[in-house]
């Protein structure tokens, strides 16, 4: 990746060597200066992608050069060159904003690698600054941060659907922001001046959900001490958002279907039919086709809800949006926790972009909030966000004993390894869901019958995990 590079060193031989190395690799635009005091004037006339500076120089040291560079443009990458005896100072420089350091004498491969990485990082910062400014100034979907192809597709869908009265089913993994999509649909609809009423169908028992939705009359059941207006009545002329619709009981599904079909309902204990004009939006992280197949969700209700289907992409499919999301969460939690974190170190940002984020945007947000709380300086470091390691077999419960497995015939060893893997995988999946086979199968992408078969083959009993509770 070619870049505009400024090299600062009081030794001409070092500048010549660096110029030859970098010029042989890529078509960089290189400026060399042996007097660090000239850097300020050069910065006034030029914008550099990368500055490579020696640490110890007369008149102005490398830290002084870096300070001048960062004052001009915080996104300019700085590489510190240092002798072996001053490595501690170079490490301190990285904490103050340097991208990395190299020790003299350095290997050609090392300096080329660091320069390539620094230019990639700088380009990413430049792109994200532009995108952030564009999003803050022009995006009509402010809460749905991102400019990746997946997010542009999502924005386009919302834009086309919002001003209609069509019922929308929002699908996507947990933590992707399905309620944010629902709120943006309402915000840009013709009903934006009316109420947006959300209800999470997974948090309340059936009897309470019915009362919350439809309302009730005083004395209609034990504890009904006064008339209660339902959420349906409150949402009249506005939007009713039913989150986790897949957890609604079959009995409630029947009542909801009537409301969707006829636009009318009865409060509990009332014989009066009431009509409403509501825009319905539902969301789920479950496979409703599979629930229909198992007889757990009504097919006719599904088709009533699924007039328009909007799929919210998981974070692993839009990793390019992570810098923008991190910037937004930094601003949010700086205010909330009275902190002043100004930047994320390049190493930390790179680590954040290497993860798959099974918990999606919600997990990333929690990670950044934790980092803001734990950070002691004005830069978010890797140790502040304490990224969990990628899951690997525990050292306490290895899949197999290395000595045993390699002494077996190949086929026997392979069969044993597969058997032990299946046993541990199934056990962990069941443990996460307190022995619920349906939920474990759904998460694993397996059919319930097939999971039962594997459980029988590996002697795993779901009852073992019933009393343990979730492991995460």
Task: Give the separation between CA 140 and CA 232, rounded to whole angstroms.
Answer: 28
Is 155 domain-assigned? Answer: no
In this structure, the answer to whether residues 306 and 331 fall within a common structural domain is no
Question: Any idea what the CATH number is for the domain that residue 451 is in?
Answer: 1.10.10
Beta strands (DSSP E) in 257-354 are 264-265, 274-275, 279-284, 308-311, 343-344
In this structure, the answer to whether residues 230 and 276 fall within a common structural domain is yes
Query: What pLDDT, on the 0 to 100 scale, is given for residue 228?
Result: 86
Task: Give the separation between CA 362 and CA 234, rounded to whole angstroms.
Answer: 29
Max mean pLDDT among 308-312, 337-341, 380-384, 412-416 falls in 308-312
Average pLDDT over residues 42-64: 88
In this structure, the answer to whether residues 62 and 124 fall within a common structural domain is yes
| Contact (Cβ atoms closer than 8 angstroms) between residue 362 and residue 174 | yes
Does pLDDT of 1 surpass 70?
no
Question: Any idea what the CATH number is for the domain that residue 333 is in?
Answer: 1.10.8.60
Region for residue 219 given its phi and psi (left: phi exceeds 0; alpha: psi -120 to 50; beta: otherwise)? left
Is 143 domain-assigned? Answer: no
CA torsion, ordered 244, 250, 254, 260, to nearest 10 deg: 10
Is 49 domain-assigned? Answer: yes
Which has the higher per-residue pLDDT, 391 or 218? 218
Token output for 441: 């199968």
Task: Give the separation between CA 452 and CA 441, rounded to whole angstroms.
Answer: 9
DSSP 282: E
In this structure, the answer to whether residues 245 and 332 fall within a common structural domain is no
pLDDT in tens, 273-321: 999 999 999 999 999 999 999 999 999 999 999 999 999 999 999 998 9
What φ, ψ does residue 240 adopt, rounded to 5°?
Answer: -110, 120
pLDDT in tens, 66-96: 989 988 888 888 999 887 666 777 777 777 7
Does pLDDT of 30 surpass 70?
yes
What interhelical angle do 346-354 and 322-336 show, nearest 10?
120
Is 428 domain-assigned? Answer: yes
| Contact (Cβ atoms closer than 8 angstroms) between residue 249 and residue 203 | no
Task: Give the separation between CA 215 and CA 217, rounded to whole angstroms.
Answer: 7
* Total tally of structural domains belonging to the chain: 4
| Contact (Cβ atoms closer than 8 angstroms) between residue 283 and residue 242 | yes
Task: Give the separation between CA 156 and CA 338, rounded to whole angstroms.
Answer: 36
In this structure, the answer to whether residues 22 and 105 fall within a common structural domain is yes
| Contact (Cβ atoms closer than 8 angstroms) between residue 7 and residue 42 | no
Query: What pLDDT, on the 0 to 100 scale, is given for residue 27?
Result: 75
Is 9 domain-assigned? Answer: yes
Task: Give the separation between CA 439 and CA 196, rounded to whole angstroms.
Answer: 30
In this structure, the answer to whether residues 376 and 441 fall within a common structural domain is no
Task: Give the separation between CA 170 and CA 310, rounded to whole angstroms.
Answer: 5
Does pLDDT of 468 surpass 50?
no
CA 252, 254, 256 angle in degrees (round to 5)? 70
The reported pTM is 0.58
In this structure, the answer to whether residues 53 and 25 fall within a common structural domain is yes
In this structure, the answer to whether residues 257 and 341 fall within a common structural domain is no
In this structure, the answer to whether residues 171 and 306 fall within a common structural domain is yes
Is 58 domain-assigned? Answer: yes
Least confident of 75-79, 119-123, 136-140, 446-450: 136-140
* Residue 353, Cβ density class (10 Å: 0-12 exposed, 13-18 middle, ≥19 buried): middle
| Contact (Cβ atoms closer than 8 angstroms) between residue 33 and residue 7 | yes
Token output for 264: 């009318």
Cα distances (Å, whole numbers) of residue 161 to 157, 193, 249, 309, 410: 6, 17, 28, 10, 57
Which sign does the torsion angle of CA 163, 167, 171, 174 carry? positive
Average pLDDT over residues 226-255: 92
User: Of 353, 385, 417, at which residue does a domain stop?
Assistant: 385
Region for residue 409 given its phi and psi (left: phi exceeds 0; alpha: psi -120 to 50; beta: otherwise)? beta
In this structure, the answer to whether residues 166 and 302 fall within a common structural domain is yes
DSSP 388: P
Region for residue 234 given its phi and psi (left: phi exceeds 0; alpha: psi -120 to 50; beta: otherwise)? alpha
In this structure, the answer to whether residues 183 and 247 fall within a common structural domain is yes
User: Of 358, 385, 412, at which residue does a domain stop?
Assistant: 385
Query: What pLDDT, on the 0 to 100 scale, is given for residue 130?
Result: 52
Q: What percent of the chain has pLDDT over 90?
A: 35
Does pLDDT of 205 surpass 70?
yes
Question: Any idea what the CATH number is for the domain that residue 58 is in?
Answer: 3.40.50.2300
Is 179 domain-assigned? Answer: yes
Task: Give the separation between CA 11 and CA 57, rounded to whole angstroms.
Answer: 9
Query: What pLDDT, on the 0 to 100 scale, is given for residue 25?
Result: 66
Average pLDDT over residues 117-146: 67
What φ, ψ does residue 360 adopt, rounded to 5°?
Answer: 60, -150
Average pLDDT over residues 381-410: 57
In this structure, the answer to whether residues 165 and 298 fall within a common structural domain is yes
Task: Give the separation between CA 95 and CA 381, rounded to whole angstroms.
Answer: 8
Is 138 domain-assigned? Answer: no
DSSP 469: -
DSSP characters over 308-330? EEEEPPPGGG-GGGHHHHHHHHH
User: Of 284, 311, 338, at which residue does a domain stop?
Assistant: 311
Q: Residue 343: name the closest of 326, 325, 363 by CA.
A: 326
* Residue 269, Cβ density class (10 Å: 0-12 exposed, 13-18 middle, ≥19 buried): middle
- Domain limits for position 94: 4-132
């Amino acid at each position: 990746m070619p870049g505009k590079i400024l090299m600062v060193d009081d030794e001409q031989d070092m500048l010549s060597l660096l110029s030859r190395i970098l010029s042989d690799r890529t078509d960089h635009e290189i400026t060399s200066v042996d007097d660090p005091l000239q850097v300020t004037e050069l910065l006034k006339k030029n914008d550099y992608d990368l500055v490579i500076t020696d640490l110890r120089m007369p008149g102005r040291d490398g830290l002084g050069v870096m300070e001048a560079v960062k004052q001009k443009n915080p996104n300019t990458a700085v590489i510190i060159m240092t002798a072996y005896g001053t490595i501690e100072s170079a490490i301190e420089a990285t904490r103050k904003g340097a991208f990395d350091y190299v020790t003299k004498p350095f290997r050609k491969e090392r300096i080329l690698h660091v320069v390539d990485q620094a230019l990639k990082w700088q380009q990413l910062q430049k792109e994200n600054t532009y995108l952030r400014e564009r999003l803050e100034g022009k995006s009509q979907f402010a809460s749905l941060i991102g400019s990746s192809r997946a997010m542009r597709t999502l924005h386009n869908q919302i834009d086309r659907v919002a001003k209609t009265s069509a019922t929308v089913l929002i699908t996507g993994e947990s933590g992707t922001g399905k309620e944010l999509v629902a709120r943006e649909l309402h915000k840009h609809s013709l009903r934006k001046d009316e109420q947006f009423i959300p209800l999470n169908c997974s948090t309340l028992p059936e009897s309470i959900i019915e009362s919350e939705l439809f309302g009730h009359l005083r004395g209609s059941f034990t504890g009904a001490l006064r008339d209660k207006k339902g959420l349906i009545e409150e949402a009249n002329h506005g939007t009713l958002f039913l989150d986790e619709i897949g957890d609604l009981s079959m009995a409630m599904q029947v009542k909801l279907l009537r409301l969707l079909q006829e636009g009318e309902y009865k409060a509990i204990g009332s014989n009066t039919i009431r009509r409403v004009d509501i825009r319905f939006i539902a969301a789920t992280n479950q496979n409703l086709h599979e629930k229909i197949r198992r007889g757990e969700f009504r097919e006719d209700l599904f088709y009533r809800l699924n007039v328009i289907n909007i799929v919210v992409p998981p974070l692993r499919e839009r990793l390019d949006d992570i810098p923008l999301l991190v910037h937004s969460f930094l601003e949010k939690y700086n205010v909330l926790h009275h902190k002043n974190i100004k930047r994320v170190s390049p190493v930390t940002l790179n680590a954040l972009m290497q993860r798959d984020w099974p918990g999606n945007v919600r997990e990333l947000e929690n990670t950044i909030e934790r980092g803001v709380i734990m950070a002691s300086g004005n830069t978010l470091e890797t140790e502040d966000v304490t990224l969990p390691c990628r899951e690997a077999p525990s050292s306490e419960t290895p899949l197999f004993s290395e000595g045993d497995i390699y002494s077996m015939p190949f086929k026997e060893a392979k069969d044993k390894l597969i058997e032990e893997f299946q046993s541990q995988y199934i056990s962990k999946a069941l443990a996460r869901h307190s022995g619920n086979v349906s939920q474990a199968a759904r998460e694993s992408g397996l059919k319930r019958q097939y999971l039962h078969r594997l459980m029988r083959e590996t002697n795993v009993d779901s009852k073992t995990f019933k009393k343990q509770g979730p492991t995460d």
